[in-house]
Every structure is written in structure tokens, then in C-alpha cells.
Structure 1
Amino acid sequence: MAIDSTAPPLTIEYLKYENLILLECISGSRAYGLATAESDTDIKGVFYLPKSHYFGLHSDYVPQVNNATNDIVYYELGRYIELLLQNNPNMMELLATPAEKILYRHPVMDSFLSEWFISKLCKNTFAGFANSQIKKARGLNKKIVNPMDKEKKSILEFCSVFANNHSIPLANWLKEQPFSQSQIGLVVMPKSTQMYAMYVDADDKLNFSGLIQKPEATQLKLSAIPKGMIPIAYLSFNAHGFSKYCNDYAAYWQWVSDRNEVRYQTTVTHGKQYDAKNMMHTIRLLEMAYDIAITGQVIVERPNRDELLAIKSGASDYDALLMQAEQLTQKIETAFANSALPDYPNTQKTLSTLVTVRDQLYDLPKLLKDRFSDK
């Protein structure tokens, strides 16, 4: 029996046609018991590589296959096990999917026991991810409360002028002058940081570079100044402030481009100025982490549907949710400290079982026998 070294492209359709699916579950809000009329149906599952990929010359391991919208995702068996050993929340939820949400389950999946994976590492992954979402929510709250104008500020707005023993914004100072910024020549002040001497070419004979040449400039221009000229004033450039503004501007408008507009409009409508869906899942993850420490189980379907959906609808104040999250985090720390769970998943049993399952899936003993019998 020859092994085909060519590797067909892996798609969801191909996985199903070749019966490579090992596990297929409804996930997301429908698995959590938090679905509403507007909820999509998310699917997650596990597949195994065809022989042509696993034994052939195909060098690129395919860890997952998904559709264009990423609401249907299948993880390769090895990647699934790898993430379970890391106590990845998505994989732990998939492992513990309620029976009524399982669409298909190959018998070999019973070989991997949930108690091998549930460990104190879940404190870092579930609660850690939740707290990263809190930071994300804080950043989102800042973006909503402090929107940025589409017209980008000029570098000149971060400059001040020292003249007549006081400092004023450059724009205000220029309004009082009989010349424009293009007639100014700048020279770096020695032994100083972002300080410049300013000279004026009132007759436009010296071809000074001006402060900037284009409105979108990100650097001030310097000029060659004739010897003996007297500076009319001194300029200070807030380089750190300008750099931070440019980074914030880019991040804000990238967020506007990438954001889920429906979720954003929901946020605007409920008027609480935070991503309510994000905060609902933050609280959910923290509660699941606490459940794991207390019960030793991953409880996917949440018992407090109404409470969580109230958070999603924007019924709670942002600061109150942050306080609730902090209190849950403290409870989680105490619960895991007193938990009898192992510190880490059982890697040895898991990996030895993975080898056995691979043998079964590929019927390896028969495959090797056939190969040698061909000779």
C-alpha cells in the first residue's frame, strides 16, 4: 500500500467528506445558555489530519480549519490536546460541552479524560484572560468617552514659543506675527532637548525651510542660518506628546475601522459607554474560574442567565462591574489556594493516549504491515 505524498487543501467540506471530524459542538452563547434572538450559531470541533498530511511530505502542519467568518472552527487533534494541556479556556469549554450541544463525537474522544486536564493552571488562563478583557474594556471605555477628530493634528500644535519672558502656543504666537511659518528658520539649541532658536527671513531672500513643508509632516525642518543673525524667539517641541498622540490617533481609527458596528451602536444606545457584551463574558469567565476551583469542573452552561444578559444589555454601571470583577478575582485567588486540584494537567497520560489514538485512527500496525508486504 503506497502512501500518497500529495496533500489536498484542507477545507471544512473536505474534512466532512473524508470523515475526519472527531468532535463537533455548538459553542459560544448557545452553549453558555446566553443566546438571544440575534445570536449566531458558533461551531467548534476537532479533526485529525489525513494520512497524506500526517505521513507524507507535506511540511506545513495545519492546526485549524475555519470558515471565512471564523464562527465555525475545527482544531487538529494535536493542537486541541496541546491547548488543553495549557488549560486554554476555549478548549476546556469544548472538552466540557453539555451533551445536548454535542452534534457528533467519535468514540476515540472518550479516551481523553477531563480530570487529566482540569488543574490550578485554570486560575491563570480563565481569570487571566478575563482580566485582560477588563483592560481591553477600560481601553474601549476611553475610546468611547474620548473620540478623536478625523482631522489629524499638526506637529505645530505641539510647539510652544518663548518670547517676551513668557510661553505661548505656537499657533497663537504666529497669529500675532506679520510673517508665516514658512519664513522661519530653525536651529537646534546646543545642549538642550527639543529646543530651537527661531530666525525670520522677512524678505524671503534666504530660502529658509520653514517649520514644516507639508501639513502632515512628522518632523520639524531645520535651516542654514547666516552668521550674525539674531533669533527672534525660542521654540519648544513636545516630542513625547506628539508621538503619543500619533500612536493614539492610529489606534483609535484602526479601532473604528475594525469594530463590530452593531455592537458599537448597541453600546451607544444603552449609554453606559462600555462594551457590554465584552463585560458580560468577562464576568462569565471569572465565575467559571471560581466554579473550577470549588467544584473541579468546567461548567459551560451558566446558571445565572438573566444576570449575565442584564450586563449585556447595559443595565450595570461600568465602575460597579469593575468592582464585581475585582471581588471575583480575590475570591478566585483564595479558592485556588485552598483547592485540591493538581498544579498542572497530566501531560504523561495525555501524550501517551494521544499516540495510542493516532495509531487507532491511522490503523498504524496494519499500515506498516502493508508497506513492508509491498516490498
Structure 2
Amino acid sequence: MKTIAELKASKSIIFECVSGSRAYGLATANSDTDIRGVFISPKEKFYSLDYIGQINNETNDIVYYELRKFIELLSKNNPNILELLNVPEDCVHFKDPIFEQIKIDYFLSKLCKNTFANYAYTQIRKARGLNKKIVNPVEKNRKSVLDFCYVRDGKQSMRLSKYLEVKKLKAEYCGLVKIPHMKDCYNLFYSESNGYQGIARKNANEVCVSSVPKEEQPIVLLYFNLDGYSSYCKKYKEYWTWVEKRNKERYANNVSHGKNYDSKNMMHTFRLLHMAKEIAEEGFVNVRRKDREHLLRIKNGDFEYKDLVREAEKIKEELEVFYDQSDLIEKPDLDKANELLASIREEFYKN
């Protein structure tokens, strides 16, 4: 039982619902439909080496958690999992009576102050990451090793390519010999007849060295900025992988509002922070959002990024006070969680 089709055929699902933006009441015309659920692994699978804690599709739009993993995540006050115990009734596809035994009161605790806030700040980092990508795009034409090579020319440095151009030299006739005790520094020799290896082979990630006769004299000292080149390669790969995989409609929306940040991530930042505050004050997880209009304004890019970050930091500081005054339990009772897990599984197998 490794696929969603096999899971459904096994009749092991005890809960299934719509989650995400449609459950929050924040869905727009282009929003995906996220499905979440809980299943109990068949007895022979649970006691075997084939135990599986989660089954999902490739895009993670559809995810089912095995009962043990579900209870474990509840015990950690995972925001996405706690929400499943309070999704609106119109989002519930199926709920076995056995699932009703899992009460949110058993798990909702002061841990939420950190789990919701930390998750919220993850969204801020994602939004800031997009900001950097929009403001500092990486050119498609990839730089080479030679672009990170410099030579000492008198009292100053000069890019190798410029030096070769000025001196009317060709890179393929250059030979490099590493200088001991000087990191990434090389003596550069030049000869059209000695068969030197050149500066770097095509698509190489390092310069190449040559065998040079002892009597030859270097024409200049070369420095290869290896750290700078490695950092550039990492940035190049991250950027163009992001370009390839990004949601084009979502990106177009982020560019159109001109604020240079991922407004959807920022919307979820404030949803999570507001939910954390409500949990402390009301002892309840409000999934369907009453602050829908304000959250959608954030998604539409109506606010400046720096103002949103400032407001988020203010709310996070306020959470300290709200949770200090809250009547919530300090953390879930793991003994009770284990008893609940065992009793539900035993009852399911018996029936």
C-alpha cells in the first residue's frame, strides 16, 4: 500500500477533508485544491517492516497521514495538522466515527506560540528570498572560471580576460603552476610551443596546471577566486532551478503588484500569527478566517514589505504576553496521546 489508489482500495482511511486556502476561505480562481486525510495501516503492514507513515501524490496536494504519525504531529502542535481537527464541516469529505475520539483539547497547548510563529517566520524568509531573486536576477549566460581569474599588474589587479586582451595573448597558450603556501595563487607562463594546458578546460570548475620547464620564467602572478566562483555557481543553479519550477501565475502576480516579495507567503505569515493569538485568547483553532479581507489585501500586494515585517515582529512580541496569560496546558500529555493511539488502533483492528 504505497499509492493513493492502493490506500483508497484498502478502506483504511478514517478521515478526509479539503485543507489549505479553500478551508481558510482564501481561495481565488487559480487556487489548488489540497486534500488531507488520516488512515490506519492494516494490521499486517503496521507490524511489518513495510510500515509507511505518509502517502502523498507527487505535488503534495494530496497527503494522508498514518494514525501514529498524525498523533505524533498533533503532539508537537504542528499547525497544519492541528487545523485538520477544526476544518469547517463543508470541507469534510469523510469522517469515521472512530476519528471523533481525537479531541483537539488533548493537544492544544502553549507550544503553539512557537510552532505557529516559527512557521510564520519561515514564510517571511521565503518572501524575502523571492525579493532577492526579483531584485538580483542571475544572467542566463553562465560565467566561466576565467571570469574569476585576476592577475597582478603593477600595484593593482586586473581581470585576466582584460590582461590577455591588452597583451594580445591567447588563453590556450597559457600554463599555470601553483605557488606553494599561497592559496589559489599561480605563476602564469606563456608559450605557443611548449604545449601548456591553458587556463581551464571547457566546462571545468577549476583552473588546470601545466608541466613547465624549470628555466621558464612566469610573466605574471594569477589569482583564481575559487570561493567566489563556487558561490556564483550555487547562486546560478538555485536561481535558474527556481525559474524553471516557479508557479508562473503566482510569479506574475508578485511582479505585477511591484512590491518585489512573495505576497502569498506574507499572507500566510499573518494568518499563522493571527491564529496563534486566537489560540492563546480563545483556546480554539479558527480555520475559516474572519480576517479574510485583510489577508487578501496582503496577498494582492497592498502593503510595503518592510511595513509587513515590522507588524509581524510586533505581533510575535505580543504573543509572549498572550501565552503567559493563557489557560492552555504547557504541552500535550504524551501518556494520554499514547493511550488514545493504542485504543483507536485496537478498536479499528477489532472491527
* TM-score normalised according to structure 2 size: 0.94
Alpha-carbon separation, structure 2, partners of 1:363 and 1:320:
56
Cα deviation code 1:295-345 (max 9, x no counterpart): 222111111111101111121212122112211211123322333322211
1:97-176 to structure 2, matched below 5 A, reads 97-176=87-166
Quote the residue 1:247 is aligned against. Answer: 234
Match of 2:323 among 321, 336, 341: 336
- 8 Å CA contact 2:172–2:196 kept in 1: the answer is yes
Q: Is the 8 A contact 1:47 1:77 kept in 2?
A: yes
Identity %: 46
Query: Which AA in structure 2 matches 1:163?
Result: D
What number of residue pairs does the alignment pair up? 351
1:291 equivalent among 278, 285, 304 = 278
> How far apart, CA to CA, are the structure 1 residues paired with 2:214 and 2:41?
76
Structure 1 gaps, min length 5: 1-8, 365-375
Radius of gyration: which is bigger? 1
Q: Shift in Å at residue 11 of structure 1?
A: 4.1
TM-score (norm 1): 0.88
2:183 is matched with which residue? Answer: 193
Deviates more, 1:222-231 or 1:346-355: 222-231
Query: Is structure 2 residue 259 aligned with structure 1 residue 272?
Result: yes
* Amino acid in structure 2 at the alignment position of 1:60: D
* Aligned 8 A contact 2:150 2:224 in 1: yes
> Displacement, 1:66?
2.8
Distance 2:62 2:152 in 1: 61
* 1:48 counterpart = 2:36: no
**Contact 2:151/2:157 (8 A) holds in 1:** yes
CA shift, 1:28, in A, is 0.9
Give how far 1:14 is off: 4.4
Partner-residue secondary structure (3-state), 1:25: strand
Amino acid at match of 2:349: Y
Question: What SS does structure 2 have at the residue aligned with 1:360?
Answer: helix
Aligned to 1:5: none
Q: Is the 8 A contact 2:39 2:64 kept in 1?
A: yes
Aligned-pair CA distance for 1:233: 1.2
* Residue deviations 1:109-162 (CA, integer Å, cap 9, x gap): 222221111112112211111111211221111111111111110111112111
1:260 matched to which residue of 2?
247
CA contact (8 A) 1:279 1:311 kept: yes
Cα distance in structure 2, aligned partners of 1:191 and 1:29: 58
Quote how far apart the aligned CAs of 1:207 are.
0.9
Paired residue for 2:199, among 196, 206, 211? 211
CA shift for structure 1 position 273: 1.5
Q: Which runs of 5+ in 2 are unaligned?
A: none
> Which residue of the partner structure matches residue 304 of structure 1?
291
Task: Name the CA distance, whole Å, in 1 between partners of 2:292 and 2:163.
Answer: 60
CA distance change for structure 1 residues 41 and 190 in 2, over 3 Å: closer, same or farther? closer
2:36–2:62 contact (8 Å) kept in structure 1? yes
4+ runs of 1 displaced by more than 6 Å?
none
Q: What SS does structure 1 have at the residue aligned with 2:167?
A: coil
Is this contact kept in 2: 1:182–1:213, CA < 8 A? no
- How far is 1:106 from its partner? 1.6
Give the residue type in structure 2 aligned to 1:348: D
Q: Matches of 2:151 and 2:6 in 1, distance apart?
A: 68
